A and B are shown apart, each in its own frame.
Chain A
Amino acid sequence: MPILKNHYWSVLLLSLLMPFGNLYAKPLQDFDGKPVSLEQFTGKGKWTIVMIWASDCHICNKEASHYEQFHQKHKNKDAVMLGLSVDGLANKPAALSFVKEHKLTFPNIIGELQAVADLFYDATGENWVGTPTFLIYSPAGKLTVQEVGAVPVAIIEQFLQQQAANKQ
Chain B
Amino acid sequence: MNEKLYIELNGAQVVEYDRNIRLPGHQRSFLDKMDEDMSEGIDLAGQRIDEPNPVQRAQFVAIQLFSAMRQEEEGLIAATCAYLANRYPEMRKVVAREQGDNVSLDLVFNEEQAQNTIAVNFQPNLH
Known: A126-B74, A129-B78. A121 touches B24 (CB 8 A): yes
- Chain B stretch 7-27: residues in CB contact (< 8 A) with chain A: 7, 12-18, 20-22, 24, 27
Sort chain B's interface into a size bin. 20 to 34
CB of B38 closer than 8 Å to a CB of A: no
Known: A58-B13, A148-B74, A150-B12. A130 touches B79 (CB 8 A): no
Total number of A residues with any Cβ neighbor in B under 8 Å: 24
Question: How far is B57's CA from A153's CA once the two chains are assembled, in angstroms?
Answer: 36
Is there contact, CB below 8 Å, between A129 and B17? yes
Known: A113-B18, A148-B77. A127 touches B13 (CB 8 A): no
CB of A57 closer than 8 Å to a CB of B: yes
User: What are the interface flags for A60-72 relative to B under an 8 Å C-beta threshold, 1 for contact and 0 otherwise?
Assistant: 0010000000000
Nearest A residue to B5 via CB reads A130
Question: How far is B26's CA from A121's CA once the two chains are assembled, in angstroms?
Answer: 12
Is there contact, CB below 8 Å, between B21 and A148? no
User: What are the interface flags for B50-87 relative to A under an 8 Å C-beta threshold, 1 for contact and 0 otherwise?
Assistant: 00000000000000000001000011011101100000
**Which among B12, B69, B75, B81 is the interface contact of A130 at CB below 8 angstroms?**
B81
**A-chain residues with CB within 8 Å of residue B81 when the two chains form the complex:** 129-130
Is there contact, CB below 8 Å, between B78 and A127? yes
Is there contact, CB below 8 Å, between A131 and B77? no
Is there contact, CB below 8 Å, between A148 and B24? no
CB of A128 closer than 8 Å to a CB of B: yes
**A-chain residues with CB within 8 Å of residue B79 when the two chains form the complex:** 127
**A-chain residues with CB within 8 Å of residue B82 when the two chains form the complex:** 127
4 tightest CB-CB pairs across the interface, nearest first? A127-B78, A149-B15, A130-B17, A149-B14
Q: A residues bordering B, Cβ < 8 Å?
A: 54, 56-59, 62, 86, 113-114, 117, 121, 124, 126-133, 146, 148-150
